A and B are shown apart, each in its own frame.
Chain A
Amino acid sequence: MPRIALRLPDGRVLRYLGLRVVQVVPTILAIVVLNFFFLRLAPGDLAEVMAGEAGSATPEYMALLRQQFGIDESLPAQFAKYMGQLLQLNLGYSFRNSMPVLELILSRAPNTALLMLSSLLVALLLGMMFGAISAHWRGRWPDGILSALTTVGFATPLFWVGLMLIVLFSVELRWLPAGGMSDLQNVHTGLAAVGDVARHMVLPVLSLAFFYIAIYTRLTRSAMLEVQELDFVRTARAKGIAPLPIAVRHVLRNALLPIVTMTGLQLGALLSGSVVIETVFAWPGMGRLAFDAVFQRDINLLLGVLFFSSFLVIVSNLATDLVYALLDPRIDIR
């Protein structure tokens, strides 16, 4: 049985990782510069923007902010102070929510992570299954139907899928709740609470997964068709191994690599998708937080979400690179 060899991180891998971390520093710096630029671009002075909509912050806090960020000082000096605050992980304070921005984001992040990871899992499972079916019956009717469905999947807005699922499953059939994360009228405890959240998750997860099912179906199909042509598959077939074990054990396993890469690089897109899905389903995550921030004119909170999610993308890209380097001995590490 072919096994994917996992190499232990040796000196080369660690040096490679170190190099990548160093390369990331200017990226983070540039994002900070952009954030600062946006703060300056918003109407009002830095302190007003940082404190959210004018009028909601106390005069004392405004004075403190003005002093902290040195509103009277030159632009570079202001930037240096802003940078210093960020390095201390201080993203400011949201008066609308009476909470520090970072704390607010961290309290919402697990809900978004739950939504995203579940969607990714559903999309991976269904997508790989559909892709395998498509590749196995290439050019025949199952392939035709699935490829028509993926074409639709690529073209349909996620939020619209969500709304249509609500119409079908919550309004017409009354099977599933249309929004929120838990039942607010009857508070559940223990296992019932888990089941309650799971029931609320079904529709948002399916809507968010919709597009990714299409992506993974196509990716798996093309990767499997490519591997199918290779010599070791012909050998397995010549040895008399049945078609299904060949498909799963030989072809699918070796088609995994592009799928792993794809997954790691999709995090940013998934975060974007969860903004609209969380809005449709009133899911209390980071996306919903960003949406609320827009309408409360809490630009600083909005930029906090942008900064935090960009940081997550950077970390996940690094992790993907590392996993990739560990999984595939052919990867050239420089």
Chain B
Amino acid sequence: MSLDATSAPLALAPARSRRSWRLNPSSFTARFLRSRTALIGTTGLLLVSLAAVFAGVLFPGDPLDMVARPFIWPFTTWTYPLGTDMLGRDILVGLVYAARVSLAVGLAAAALAVGLGVLFGALSGYFGGWVDQVLTRITEVFQTMPSLVFVVVVVAILSPSITSIVLGIAITSWPQIARLVRAETLRLRDAEFVQAARVMGMGHGRIILTHILPNAISPVIVAGSILVAHAILTEAALSFLGLGDPNLISWGSMIGSGREVLRTAWYMTALPGIAISITVMALNLLGNGLNDVLNPRVALT
């Protein structure tokens, strides 16, 4: 019924359609709304972000406080729907507060990695020659070292804190962005509009910033959202290994402490893992969806 309500008047009287707010079907918004993958990803991510942002409003008080008797299994009482851990802390509250740490680390690490990658990739692709040779070699070095071992070294030496974790993850993940931006820059470097800018006497910095990067941005956005997902997974692994920030709870550290009682209370390990999976899945879906949305050759379903 509702389907007919929108399509019938259009077919009968196209001239009277509300053109003022109708979207151009090939515009970004229209394509985004038609991509099921992107929408599911955005919805999931929005829910997790809202929980993280309003953690303090939803659950005032310290998430590390003991609120009830320990080892209450999930779905057994309405007061603590996801149960309590071995110290009697509310697991739902823990998960919501941990979302802050995981999302913050993911976003900060991805932002830093994208910044480094864009800088290296753009310089390398734009200038070519020996600059490119040197920067490509540096990129290769960072790509060669097994990423988790490398992050562990960085965090262990700088001592575990949220800053060293963000730094470690960013240092190991920028090469992917750099390669991407380099390839895009190489493609655009000799485009006519760039040549025109050069003839006008525009400086290198301005050409890169105003002509090349805006046209290379869509694959970077896609890779960036996947990078956030990757960073959340890496942070979880680090916290699980005991290299997380000792003053904060994250999903990884919840799994790490739940592991101690894995044999008797496996729900303490299972729940944070599910939270990680859902968040990372939402980000991956958003990334894949954006990839389709931003590529005009892909037909959306």
Is A310 a contact of B144 with CB atoms below 8 Å? yes
A7-15, A119-127, A182-190, A289-297 - interface stretch: A289-297
From known contacts A268-B147, A299-B156, A305-B149, infer whether A159 and B255 are also in contact, taking CB-CB under 8 Å: yes
The answer on a CB contact under 8 Å between B285 and A276 is no
Cβ A27 vs Cβ B140 within 8 A = yes
> Closest Cβ of chain A: how far from B13's Cβ, in Å?
37
User: Chain A contacts of B252 at CB under 8 A?
Assistant: 157
A67 to B147, CA, bound (A): 34
Give the chain A neighbours of B236 by CB distance below 8 A. Answer: 157, 160
Contacts of A19 in B (CB 8 A): none
Judge whether B144 and A268 touch: CB under 8 Å. yes
B273 at the interface (CB under 8 A from A): yes
Which residues of chain A are within 8 angstroms of B66 by Cβ–Cβ distance? none
Q: B270: CB under 8 A from chain A?
A: yes
Identify A309's interface contact among B137, B149, B277, CB under 8 A: B149
Contact of B281 with A151 in the complex, beta carbons under 8 Å: yes
Q: How far is the CB of A317 from chain B (nearest CB, A)?
A: 8
B229 A155 Cβ-Cβ under 8 A: yes
Knowing A27-B141, A313-B144, the reply to whether A159 touches B156 (Cβ < 8 A) is no
| Chain B contact residue count (CB 8 A cutoff) | 42
- Expressed in whole angstroms, the Cα–Cα distance for A84 and B138 within the complex equals 23
CA distance A4 to B81 in the complex (A): 59
Distance between B228 CB and nearest chain A CB, rounded to angstroms: 12
Contact present for B137 and A290 (CB under 8 Å): no
A155 with B277, Cβ < 8 A, contacts A268-B144, A309-B146 known:
yes
Cross-chain contact B137 with A30 (CB below 8 angstroms)? yes
Partner of A294, one of B152, B262, B266: B152
Our pick among B145, B148, B237 for the contact of A310 (Cβ within 8 Å) is: B145
> Given that A30-B137, A291-B241 are known contacts, is A41 also in contact with B149, CB under 8 Å in the complex?
no
B262 pairs with A163, CB closer than 8 A: yes
Q: Could you mark each residue 3-40 of chain A with 1 if its beta carbon is under 8 Å from any beta carbon of chain B, else 0?
A: 00000000000000000000000110011001000100
Chain B residue with Cβ nearest A302: B153
Q: How far is the CA of A117 from the CA of B281 in the complex (A)?
A: 27
Q: Which residues of B contact A279 (CB under 8 A)?
A: 241
Q: Which of A154, A163, A268 is B145 in contact with, Cβ under 8 Å?
A: A268
A155 with B148: CB separation less than 8 A = no
Chain A residues within 8 Å of B242, by CB: 294-295
Asked if B5 CB lies within 8 Å of chain A CBs, one says no
Asked whether, in the complex, the Cβ of A163 is within 8 Å of the Cβ of B146, the reply is: no
Complex CA–CA separation, A187 to B154 (angstroms): 40
Query: Does A42 lie at the interface of the complex (its beta carbon under 8 Å from any beta carbon of B)?
Result: yes
A276 adjacent to B146 (CB under 8 Å): no
Q: A272 within 8 Å of B by Cβ?
A: yes
Q: Cβ of A269 and Cβ of B147 under 8 Å apart?
A: yes
Contact of A171 among B147, B158, B263, B281 (CB under 8 A): B263
* B149 adjacent to A272 (CB under 8 Å): yes
Residues from chain A with a CB closer than 8 A to the CB of B270 are 164, 167
User: Does A146 make an interface contact (CB < 8 A)?
Assistant: no
Residue of B nearest to A164 (CB): B270
A295, B138: Cα distance in complex, Å: 30
Tell me whether A160 and B149 are in contact (CB under 8 A).
Answer: no
**Within residues 120 to 150 of chain B, which ones have a CB less than 8 A from any CB in chain A?**
137-138, 140-141, 143-150
- B144 and A314 form a contact (CB under 8 A): yes
> Known contacts being A152-B277, A155-B280, A291-B241, is A275 close to B152, with CB within 8 Å?
yes
Least distance between A112 CB and chain B CB atoms (Å):
11
Having A268-B145, A310-B146, one finds 18 other A-B pairs with CB under 8 Å, namely A27-B137, A151-B281, A156-B273, A157-B273, A158-B237, A159-B255, A160-B273, A164-B273, A171-B262, A269-B146, A271-B148, A272-B146, A279-B241, A291-B241, A294-B152, A299-B157, A306-B146, A317-B144
- 8 cross-chain CB contacts under 8 A: A157-B236, A157-B252, A163-B273, A164-B269, A171-B266, A302-B156, A306-B150, A310-B146
Q: Which residues of B line the A interface, CB within 8 A?
A: 137-138, 140-141, 143-150, 152-154, 156-158, 229, 233, 236-237, 240-243, 252, 255, 259, 262-263, 266, 269-270, 273, 276-278, 280-281, 284-285
